[in-house]
A and B are shown apart, each in its own frame.
Chain A
């Protein structure tokens, strides 16, 4: 998207809340949405003398994510303290990882309509989340202008996985596509619900630009907390444009933390970053190292399901689907499962893809349900597809039959067609009677047609369809109409 002569270079830092029953270092519940300060204890409130104990399930989830993203899993890893003062961090340090993360380098493969691309991952490490600050007095709970703040420690100490990419992305669209597939992968293995709106998936972007052909990286800015995929894409593109504008005006890009304003679509400086943070990392003395052994890694690897990237490529090969269609069907596990069952039942992948992405997806969106919650099972849908393919039901009536499948969960497609009289009328004598009636009832249009306004054929067809409730077989209708209209 960037302008001629410029190349954008983008790396992402992604935080994912791991799905566990308890927190990272204590056994308080890890649950979103509870009343403030109800899942807290001496450990996550940082009372003196307490000791953290890491959550086995969180460590395993983190390793599974690392494996699914193509990261190496080092045989030795340890925790570090990251020191800073802020009310959301009562120990005055966050337990994190520094130079020995749980998951090491990897390469994540992203299928894309314009050709697949690869994003190198630098690392993925475990850390604890901070408490939540509720800012009283500031507009909309914002910090600016607040009279005081209240701290809710329910989130304090819940497990996070921070995933850091190399600067391998070059546009907002690539970043969105990458993050969407990364999210789908994490959801597919059940490691997190990775919901940007709830904050269980958060993404910051490091953005810089350079002249095409340059090898050195330009000065980067950090774009913070974009809370949807759309804003991630737009925010990055706005920042790329801003930086190109600055450089073309002969100025220089200053290192800063930037904020994307959704309302105006512009980017502005949140705080300048001239002085580097000094977090004084050092090994966490309260926690001993992690050494995942081969048996554990084998066990975790064996339990990984088919991942979205592999599934998308399989759909292209197995069903002969175009890449964008395979991507739409294969990214989410539930829709993929529904589609494959329908494809098996009707024995035609392309046909199944059309129905899955057409009426069925529209119904899911309208009803706000996931495939497993829909009354339209692949088996019931297959009944309708067969009726349409055999010509027993027309495409217009098929929409009504589909609505019937949604409204009446116990009825088969055949039963709905029968009960509602939606079968296609192919009988020539029956259709001829309707056609004659329409021709006789519209003398003005007949005259115009005969004077050369042939596009009126559509008008006549529509009239016949209306009279038959959309059930007339269109080819026969058009032939009969032509015979009547051309004939005299």
Chain B
């Protein structure tokens, strides 16, 4: 199934990817072939099979509500590109 150019541009925008026109064409073809590969599953009769969201046979994996040591503010800010004394500075958000 081939994706339209409009669909490719929409998905790129959702992912905040700026694509050139030639990339739209190339990635559109690649993405379409991936979808075609996955859609092979549609050929099977799966009416009686519930959708599987997890391959693991596990449920209720939960942790006790006990605090554990966290990072110091200094450690937390080590990778910040523009640290402020009280936290992570980010550019102004366009409304």
B76 close to chain A: CB less than 8 A: yes
**B71 & A41 in contact (Cβ 8 Å cutoff):** yes
A135 CB, nearest partner CB in chain B, Å: 8
A354 close to chain B: CB less than 8 A: no
Q: Supply 16 further A-B pairs (C-beta < 8 A) apart from A54-B62, A57-B64.
A: A21-B67, A22-B65, A22-B68, A27-B63, A28-B67, A28-B70, A40-B76, A45-B76, A53-B62, A59-B62, A134-B87, A148-B90, A149-B91, A150-B84, A150-B90, A289-B59
**A151 & B88 in contact (Cβ 8 Å cutoff):** yes
A233 close to chain B: CB less than 8 A: no
Contacts of A148 in B (CB 8 A): 89-92
Contact A37 to B54, CB < 8 A, known contacts A21-B67, A289-B59: no
Q: How far is the CA of A152 from the CA of B84 in the complex (A)?
A: 11
B6 close to chain A: CB less than 8 A: no
A290 close to chain B: CB less than 8 A: yes
Stretch at the interface among A139-147, A190-198, A206-214, A241-249: A139-147
Q: How far is the CA of A223 from the CA of B19 in the complex (A)?
A: 36
Query: What's the interface size class on A, roughly?
Result: 35 or more
Q: How far is the CA of A462 from the CA of B84 in the complex (A)?
A: 68
**Given B14, B59, B67, B71, which contacts A40 in the complex, CB threshold below 8 Å?**
B71
Q: Which of A20-58 contact B (CB under 8 A)?
A: 20-22, 27-29, 35-42, 45, 53-58
Contacts of A45 in B (CB 8 A): 71, 76
**B86 & A40 in contact (Cβ 8 Å cutoff):** no
**B62 & A37 in contact (Cβ 8 Å cutoff):** no
Q: Can you sample 14 A-B contacts with CB below 8 Å?
A: A20-B65, A27-B67, A35-B86, A37-B77, A37-B88, A40-B73, A56-B62, A78-B53, A146-B92, A148-B90, A148-B91, A153-B76, A271-B95, A280-B14
**B76 & A22 in contact (Cβ 8 Å cutoff):** no
B60 close to chain A: CB less than 8 A: yes
B49 close to chain A: CB less than 8 A: no
Contacts of A53 in B (CB 8 A): 61-63
The secondary-structure label for the interface of chain B is: loop
Chain A residues within 8 Å of B, Cβ to Cβ: 20-22, 27-29, 35-42, 45, 53-59, 78, 83, 85-87, 133-134, 137, 143-144, 146-153, 271, 278, 280, 283, 285, 287-292
A378 CB, nearest partner CB in chain B, Å: 35
**A288 & B87 in contact (Cβ 8 Å cutoff):** no
Contacts of A151 in B (CB 8 A): 87-90
**B60 & A291 in contact (Cβ 8 Å cutoff):** yes
Contacts of B56 in A (CB 8 A): 288
Q: How far is the CA of A87 from the CA of B26 in the complex (A)?
A: 31
**B87 & A55 in contact (Cβ 8 Å cutoff):** no
Closest 4 A/B residue pairs (Cβ): A283-B53, A57-B65, A27-B68, A56-B62
Contact A56 to B88, CB < 8 A, known contacts A37-B76, A40-B71, A144-B95: no
A103 CB, nearest partner CB in chain B, Å: 16
B40 close to chain A: CB less than 8 A: no
**B90 & A21 in contact (Cβ 8 Å cutoff):** no
**B93 & A55 in contact (Cβ 8 Å cutoff):** no
The secondary-structure label for the interface of chain A is: loop
Contacts of B84 in A (CB 8 A): 150
Contacts of A137 in B (CB 8 A): 92
A62 CB, nearest partner CB in chain B, Å: 12
Contacts of B60 in A (CB 8 A): 288, 290-292
B66 close to chain A: CB less than 8 A: yes
Contacts of A38 in B (CB 8 A): 70, 73
**A37 & B67 in contact (Cβ 8 Å cutoff):** no
B16 close to chain A: CB less than 8 A: yes
Contacts of A291 in B (CB 8 A): 59-60
Q: How far is the CA of A152 from the CA of B10 in the complex (A)?
A: 31
Contacts of A271 in B (CB 8 A): 95
Contacts of B68 in A (CB 8 A): 22, 27-28
Contacts of B44 in A (CB 8 A): none
Contact A37 to B89, CB < 8 A, known contacts A58-B65, A288-B58: no
**B62 & A40 in contact (Cβ 8 Å cutoff):** no
A64 CB, nearest partner CB in chain B, Å: 14
